[in-house]
Each structure stands twice: as structure tokens, then as C-alpha cells.
Amino acid sequence: MNNKAEKIGDRLNDATDALVVWPLVILSLLFLAAGLIPLSFMWGLNHLAYFPKSIGLVYAVLILVAFALSTSKRFESSLRNLSRSFEKTPAIIRIIVLAVMAAALFYLFRVHVHSLGDGYQRIYQIEQGYYYYHTEPLDFFAHGLLYRVLKFLGIDSGETTYVVFSIVTGVCFVLAVYLFRGYRKTDAGCMPMIKLLILTMGGMQLFFGYVESYALYYVATLLYLLWAGKIIVDGRGYFAAAAMLALALFSHITAIILVPSFAFIIYRHIKNKTVSPARRYLPAVIVLIPFLGIIIQEIILRIYMSETVPSISGGLLPLFSTSQYAIFSPAHVNDIINEFLLICPVPLVLAVALIRRKFDIGKHFIVFGLLAVVPAMLTLLLIDPKLGMARDWDLFSIPTAIIGMTILLMSRIGSRKKPGRISVKFLLIAISLIIFSSWILVNSSVNRQLERAEDLLTFKSKTAGYGTELLAYYYRFRMNDSQKALELLETIEGEARNARVYNKIAKMQIDLGRDEAALKSIYAGLRLDSGFTELHMLAGATWLRKGKPELSLPHFQTAVMQAPDRPECYQTLANTYFKLDSPLVAIKVYKKLLEMKPDHALAHFEIGNLYRLTGQYDSAFIYTREGLKLNPDFPNGLKLLEMIKAQARPSQRD
């Protein structure tokens, strides 16, 4: 009877293995052919399109070798021996080796172009002192703290801060996954495969020096799911799972989608009367604190700052529309498929087997899986990728990774059947590693990544205009190529060519010495939005350069009315009055600035100099001296004071 049962079990495993192998073949063929498919249909898996055809041939050979080696007993034996040899070395040596290898990999193949995501915005924010944002409080605080530490050490760079944080977080994640002990002994054979599949998912891109605020969130989310699986299988790990979920909640508000799955496992824990009340309720308290904190914070912000905080409904997609991006529009469905292909292509293969084959999964794992997957899927479906999912893949990588990770755990841990054969495990890892290596090599090359960014940000998507703006930013400030930036911006058409775009076009034209063209762009932008202060400032500065302060004046006056809290508006207006031979009016403008900012040293010096020029030496002396009190190191401050003394009458000098 036992032999018969084993034979039946082997046949079941053979059938299950076949359900995994054939989707792997399809995935491999799709990976090799993705570069031939239009980008808008296959942006999640088309990395080979950025290599010569010879590299595609190399990858094809690697895939063939993977399928061939998967049936080799000798190769299987070599893998086992290698693994055993590594595990025999002291734990501290293994940890150091893994940490060094991970750090080297993340650094050497790091991202160089930050146009995807909100990279350049994040760099600007941290360098301007933005250390808090209500949707990502812990992440902004942690990056801000690291920025101050690096600045103290002489490294004043927002980009370096994000790169260091990304790499360090990635190393910690690799070590945490490696040190995770796994689940019950019957599944011990699957654990190395699960760990390698986790470490080769597309979300790992966040650790290659990627500039965004999701690295910590990604780590906490996946470690929470690992420990939650241990709770269901072994009944242990409640505090670790609670700590990881709390970390995720503090890192990003969207971690709320994980709360239903935690509520399920903690409910079962609380019902366990054999555990002391403190141990039963403490994990729930650990999660409840950040959860309630987030909810209360959002309520307060919407009561007192409703005009600056976006409404929840404003971030949702319409149900269906034939003319725009909607929940069930073909473009959105295609984007979701591509997000899965980018983040978790191999777990998708396991999902096929999970659906086609009725795994004997415990009911608790099924409930947990549904409570994890359904909110994540709803997030992908409902949340509006305002900047395009191809550009904002990082934001949607977390819910996609949740689904992929849950499928992985359910198919390999939740099942009570025997783990699959070594050949299938090897194939899963090999194909995952091959895809993993392709996007690493794309991102590690400035030229390849820039080419991919250009493709993703400029193909006709729901936000092609803004994507092109990001590319233009890169060319202007990173490559010092204003001509290329201008050419990109001039490709923006229709509604996307708004006042902000005209402002950027005008700046590029000014960089290139084309003031007449810049003025045409400025006034085209003002016709669209007369309240765009930057355009008024740009128009005023351009007319001043052309020696026509009388044409500058109305623009600077408008700028002061529109932005009364910006010192530079007052400074340019006062300078214009001076050029129009109205120094006393210029003094009045500077005094209005001092009413708003009494400690503005430059305004004191400017007033002092204007009083000197009009012969009012007492006032000139007072304002200049006050300016020196505020800023003793101001260039030419002491020189101005000496000039005032020298020009004043002897009686006034005393």
C-alpha cells in the first residue's frame, strides 16, 4: 500500500511539474521575443531590446542550457555539494561574504538615470530640507537623518543619500531572507528555492541605488509575508510579523492593504487561551499604534489642510471609459500585466499551476492568501497611475510583489503535497535569474538606461508629456545638453503642452541665447495661465537683459501680487525701479520685503546702498550696519559701510 501511495504521489508531482515547465517555456520564449513587440504592449519584459542581437542569442543559449541541465543528475549533485560546502563554513563568514557580495552587486550595477519614478523630485526635496511627508513619514525621516549625517561628513548630496540608503537597505534584506529559518521540516527542500525567487523578483531594482521612497517599504512588506507564512504553518513569529507590518505602515500609507491579512492571523492568535494575555494582545498593539496614527493623521490633514491634501476619490480610476484610461480599459489592463512581468514573472508561472492543479492547501492559508491578494489586486486596479504605470512602476511594485510573494508561499509552502523535483526547482531559479540579470545589465549602463527611460517616458501613454519633461530635466542638468532638452520639450503636443512646459522651453531657449524665441514661448504660456508666476519672472528678466526695464515692470509687479511671500519677486521689482531712475520707490519695495522678513540681510544692504546713492547717509549707515549684524560675512558689506562714512559730511560721521 505504501509503495502504491508513493507511486500515485510521484504521478501527481510529475503532473504538477509539467504544469510548471510548460509555462516556463512560454515565459522564456516571451522574454526572448519581447523586444520585437511594440513597447506600449510589452514594456515589462523587453529588456533584451536594449542589447545587440548577439546578446539575445547568448540569453537564448543560456535558457537552452538551463533546460538541459535541469535533467542532469551530475549537475544536481554538484549543486547539492556546493550548497553543503557553503553551509559548513562559520555563520559569521557566510554573513560577511553575502553582505559584501550583495553590496558589490548593488553598487557596481547601480542605477545612474533617475528619470523613472520621482527620483529628481526626491533629490530636490531632501536637499531643500523636506524631512516629512504624511504618506511616507518614516521613509522621509530616515533619508533626512542619513542626509544630515553624510552632510556632517562632508558629503552634501541628496542623490548619494538615496543611493546609500537603497544599497544598505538591500543588503539588510538579502541577509534577512538568508537568515530566515524557514517553515516545517517537510518543506525544507523548498526553502532555498523560495529565498532565491524572492531575491530575484523585479522589486529588487529598488536596491540598486534607485532614488525613491519605497525600498524600506518593500523590505518590510516581503518580510511580513515571510513571517506571516511561518505563523500559519508553525504557529510562531507573531512579534516579528507585527514588527514588520508596523515598519511597513510607518514607511508608506498604502501598507494598510496588509492589515486584513494580519487581522486574520492575529484573531486566531488571540483565541489561543494557552498563551498569556500579554503575548496574545501585544502583536496587535504593535500594529494598531501606527495604523491608528495614520488614520488620525489623515483625518486631521483633511480637516485643516483640505485644500493641499488630495482627496481619496481623486486618486481613483473611473470604472470604464472608451475615451480615457480607466479600470477596465485595455491600456490599464495591459499595464497591470506588464507590471507582473516586470516584478514577478516566475511566481506567475506558479500561479498557473496553482489554478490548474487543485493543491491540497490548508484552509487557513487560503483565507490568508485571499486577504493578502485581493486588497493588493484592488490597489492595482483602482489607483490611478497619474504619471503612467510604466514610469511609476516602483509605486505599484509593492502590491504586485505582495501578490507574487503570496502565490509563491501558497504554491510551495501552503501545499501539503511533496515539494517538486529538483529539476523544476532549478528551472524556476534559472529562468528567474536570467530575467533578473537582463534588467540589471540594462539599468547599470547609463546609455541603455537612458534609452529605456526615453522609450518609457515618451511613448504615447496617459502622461507622455510629463515623462518627456523628466527626460529634458536629465539632459539639461545632468548632461548639460540644453539643445537636446529643448528638442524633447518641443515634441510635447496638445493639452500636455501647458504653461509649465512653455516655462521650461523658454528657459532652454534662454540657455541657448535665443531671447526672442524665449519671449514667444513665455507669452504663449501666459495665454494659457496668466497666474503662472515663474513665467512673469522669466519675462521680466528677459526684458531687463534686452535693456527694456519699462517692459519688465508690469511682469515683476504681477509676480509680487501673485507670490507675496517670495523675496526674489521684491528684489527684481526693486532692481527694475532703480533702473527706471526711481530709487525711492525701490526703497519702498525693499521695506515691504523687510516687513515680511525682518532678518533679510540683503534687503538691508540694498536699502543702505540706495540711501547712499540718494545722499541720505544717516539712513544708509543705519541699514548697512543692521545688515552686517545679520550677516557679518556678507561680501562687500564692510566696504559699503566705509563708502558711506567717506561720502558723508564730517558732522554725520560722528
Domain boundaries, the chain: 16-442
pTM of the model: 0.81
Q: Please report, for residues 97, 175, 274, 294, the alpha-carbon distance to residue 90 in angstroms, rounded to integers and kept in the order given.
A: 11, 15, 38, 43
For residues 389 and 339, is the Cβ–Cβ distance under 8 A? yes
Distance CA 247, CA 218 (A): 10
pLDDT at 137: 92
pLDDT below 50 — which residues of the chain?
Answer: 1-15, 185-186, 414-420, 651-654
Residues 6+ apart with CB under 8 A from 89: none
Q: How many residues does the chain have?
A: 654
Query: From its phi and psi, is residue 315 left (phi > 0), alpha (psi between -120 and 50) or beta?
Result: alpha
Continuous H helices in 499-649: 499-511, 515-528, 533-545, 549-562, 567-579, 583-596, 601-613, 617-630, 637-647
Kindly state the cell numbers that stand for 245: 507590518
Phi, psi of 30 (to 5 degrees): -65, -40
Helix (H) or strand (E) holding 90: none
| Sign, CA torsion 441/447/453/456 | negative
Closest CA to 397 of 332, 444, 325, 340: 340
Burial of 612 (0-12, 13-18, 19+ CB in 10 A): buried
Contact in structure between 502 and 525 (CB atoms under 8 Å): yes
Q: Determine the pLDDT at residue 633.
A: 85
* Chain centroid offset of residue 464 CA: 18
So what's the pLDDT on residue 653?
Answer: 46
State the Cα angle at 104 between 99 and 107, rounded to 5°: 120
Q: Which three cell numbers stand for residue 332?
A: 490599464
Q: Tell me which amino acid residue 628 is.
A: L
pLDDT tens sequence across 125-148: 898 888 888 889 999 999 999 999
Q: Which residues contact 441 (CB under 8 A, 6 or more apart)?
A: 47, 51, 109, 448
User: 38 near 46, Cβ under 8 Å?
Assistant: no
User: What pLDDT sits at residue 7?
Assistant: 41
Backbone angles phi, psi at 273, to 5 degrees: -75, -10
* Res 221: pLDDT: 97
